Structure 1
Amino acid sequence: MIHEFIMHVICPFLGTMGYAVLFHVPKRFYLSCGFTGMTGWLVYNTIVGRTFSAAFASFLGTMAVVFLSRVLSVRKKCPLTIFLVSGILPLVPGAGIYYTVYYLVTNQLAEASRRGMESVKVAFAIVLGIVFVLAVPGTVFQSLAVGQRRSRKG
């Protein structure tokens, strides 16, 4: 149980940091990128096993990633995409897309259709999560970052 939880924390953290290295993110942002991806995966992983679907869990995980990315971009004074692109990658339905193509090639059309629709739902949930949090005015995140800086100074 503890071993599984540690793997669900370390693997997305290191994977997201790996993508940050691949995308040539400045080194000072590596830990923040890893933390963003880990947070999104933890939100997704704790919800997906419950009574909710993978699409809803992806939606909530994406909202967590975008929210954290916006806060970090204001605090660290850098573009949002630095954290968003690498942080969202653990939630992308890569295995679902792979199995969709696999079942198409092996002529198992019913299973390919089921997997494909599930992957489309997850991808659409990711888009909706990004849109919902990006629709929140930037002043909210600026006030969050300023409030955190003031509490640190005081």
Structure 2
Amino acid sequence: MIPPIIILTWLFQTLVAFVSTVAFSIIFHTPRREWLCTGITGAVGWLVYLVSMELGAGVVGASFFATVALTWFSRVFSFARKAPVTVFLICGIFPLVPGAGIYYTGYHFFMSDNSLALSTGLETIKIAIAIALGIGIVLSLPKFFFTWSQEGKSTARTGR
């Protein structure tokens, strides 16, 4: 059983991910009608990340699973809203991008702490590769995984 304080923390962090993703969507000039969907995409990705970390997946594994989830939602919203998948994907990936890892890699490098720069840099590269693989796997799936069946509607119209 997960303690209630952890669930409350997850809900708060998911809300913050939602708001930050919407804020990034505004900066990215995403159409206003897509802000809710981009926020949901970012929030789902972050929630999957938190749950994966709790289950012991590690930072790289959690980043992969979160990317798969948010890319899945991006594709679903793309078909449902008839918008490019990148509108939802680029905004939704914002909470997962390892910006701090990149910063600290450079910081340790310029402070001549090469061993720490190397370890931070390698972990950042692993996270980036996990994100790229998650996106690539979901984007390579066929369209029928992300749309609802239209057969019932077409047979009702044609009478076949």
TM-score (norm 1): 0.89
Provide the C-alpha distance between the structure 2 equivalents of 1:139 and 1:7, rounded to a whole number of angstroms: 34
- Partner residue in 1 for 2:140: 135
Provide the C-alpha distance between the structure 1 equivalents of 2:54 and 2:108, rounded to a whole number of angstroms: 25
Provide the C-alpha distance between the structure 2 equivalents of 1:59 and 1:106, rounded to a whole number of angstroms: 31
In structure 2, relative to structure 1, the CA distance for the partners of 1:102 and 1:49 (3 Å cut) is farther
- 2:9 is the alignment partner of 1:4: yes
Provide the C-alpha distance between the structure 1 equivalents of 2:129 and 2:113, rounded to a whole number of angstroms: 24
Provide the C-alpha distance between the structure 2 equivalents of 1:94 and 1:19, rounded to a whole number of angstroms: 14
- 2:51 is the alignment partner of 1:46: yes
For 1:40, give the aligned amino acid: G
Instruction: Specify the structure having the higher radius of gyration (Cα).
Output: 2
Provide the C-alpha distance between the structure 1 equivalents of 2:24 and 2:99, rounded to a whole number of angstroms: 15
Decide which of 59, 62, 69 is 2:64's aligned counterpart: 59
Alpha-carbon offset, residue 59 of structure 1: 0.5
Alignment of 1:4-153 (within 5 A): 4-143=9-148
Alpha-carbon offset, residue 3 of structure 1: 4.7
State the Cα deviation string for residues 57-108 of structure 1 (Å, max 9, x = none).
1010000011000001111111111100000111101111111111111111
Alpha-carbon offset, residue 23 of structure 1: 0.9
How well do the aligned residues superpose, as a CA RMSD in angstroms?
Answer: 1.7
Provide the C-alpha distance between the structure 2 equivalents of 1:45 and 1:109, rounded to a whole number of angstroms: 30
Alpha-carbon offset, residue 50 of structure 1: 3.2
Alpha-carbon offset, residue 138 of structure 1: 1.2
State the Cα deviation string for residues 87-146 of structure 1 (Å, max 9, x = none).
0111101111111111111111111100000000000000000000011011221236x5
SS of equivalent residue, structure 2 residue 147: helix
For 2:138, give the aligned amino acid: V
SS of equivalent residue, structure 1 residue 24: coil
User: How many residue pairs align between the two structures?
Assistant: 147
